[in-house]
Amino acid sequence: MRLDFATFAARPDLIPLANQFPGGWHEFMYHDPVAPLYFDQADTTWAEYALIATDAADPTRPVARAYSVPFDVPADPADLPPDGWDRVVLTSALELAAGRHGGQVSALEITIQPELRGKGLAGQVLNAMRDNVKRLGHSVLVAPVRPSAKSDVPTEPIDEYAFRVRADGLPVDPWLRVHVRAGAEIVKVAPRSMTIAGTLAEWREWTGLPFDAPGPVVVPGALVPVHCDPVQGVAVYVEPNVWVRHQL
């Protein structure tokens, strides 16, 4: 499939297509409390950093969306923050409030229509993001990557999973593999990249699971188990991601 890419700034008429991704994420993923700090401004303040991909044969068909944001990347990649995704969103919001503009860029999300996943489109979308970031004058793109197959092994430590490779030396994880093929370096783990807390009633609504016993709960789509505390009436999900770095 050939894709056409445009920024939200260049094609604001296509912004409504970015919301047409049914089933793109599991419900609990939409409840990170810091996410609105970015997404409420994705199509305005950060419109140059947001991409929509459409089918070149059918311009009304949205295929993928890609979000990134200016972020002051540490000079030493080893200093990338342990609270990866959440820290990027918080830092970019604080810099915006202070009238500053991050010198480099972090990716936040690439989503492909569920029925089109596994067809080799991820590399095209990532390369389009890289090209756009470079066009905007940045030399580094980092990403707190959500390893796509980690949910298949939720109890495996992320420190082991992130660095497992196949016989050809590429990562076992498909999404990490896309980044490495595009030229990225896997830097480190972000052990608490996203934190989602909710009442037991909320988690039951989000997942359809009972959440009635203390301890870890394996939730479909979650990269690690969710910690359930019936005594306090809450459950908390702390998602690990993997920092990668693209030198553009």
Q: Identify the band that residue 69 occupies on the pLDDT scale cut at 50, 70 and 90.
A: very high
| Distance (Å) of CA 96 to CA 15, 37, 71, 89, 171 | 22, 10, 10, 11, 35
Pull the structure tokens for residue 154: 């939720």
Pull the structure tokens for residue 52: 């929509």
* 95 class by beta-carbon count within 10 Å (0-12 exposed, 13-18 middle, 19+ buried): middle
Q: Is the pLDDT assigned to residue 70 strictly greater than 80?
A: yes
| Amino acid identity for residue 25 in this structure | W
Alpha carbon dihedral 127, 132, 136, 139, in 10-degree steps, equals -10
What's the whole-number mean pLDDT along residues 19-40? 91
List pLDDT tens digits, range 75-96: 999 999 999 999 999 999 999 9
Q: Is the pLDDT assigned to residue 158 strictly greater than 90?
A: yes
Alpha-carbon distance of 127 to 246, in angstroms, equals 11
List pLDDT tens digits, range 106-128: 999 999 999 999 899 999 999 99
55 neighbors 61 (Cβ within 8 angstroms)? yes
Please tell me the predicted confidence (pLDDT) of residue 111: 95
Please tell me the predicted confidence (pLDDT) of residue 101: 87
- Neighbouring CB atoms inside 10 A of 243's CB total 24
Q: Is the pLDDT assigned to residue 23 strictly greater than 80?
A: no
Alpha-carbon distance of 90 to 17, in angstroms, equals 26
Nearest in space to 194 (alpha carbons), one of 35, 37, 40, 39: 35
Fold topology of 3-190+243-247: Aminopeptidase (3.40.630)
Considering the chain, what percentage of its residues have pLDDT values greater than 70?
100
What's the whole-number mean pLDDT along residues 198-205? 98
Please tell me the predicted confidence (pLDDT) of residue 25: 87
Q: Identify the band that residue 187 occupies on the pLDDT scale cut at 50, 70 and 90.
A: very high
What's the whole-number mean pLDDT along residues 42-57? 97
Q: Is the pLDDT assigned to residue 221 strictly greater than 80?
A: yes
Q: Is the pLDDT assigned to residue 151 strictly greater than 90?
A: yes
What's the whole-number mean pLDDT along residues 30-39? 96
Q: Is the pLDDT assigned to residue 24 strictly greater than 80?
A: no
Alpha-carbon distance of 121 to 213, in angstroms, equals 41
What's the whole-number mean pLDDT along residues 214-219? 98
What's the whole-number mean pLDDT along residues 2-13? 97
Domain map of the chain by residue range? 3-190+243-247
Buried b (16+ CB within 10 A) or exposed e, 185-222: ebbbbbbbbbebbbebebbeebbebebeeeeebebeeb
CA angle 205, 238, 28 (to 5 degrees): 25
31 neighbors 196 (Cβ within 8 angstroms)? yes
Please tell me the predicted confidence (pLDDT) of residue 217: 98
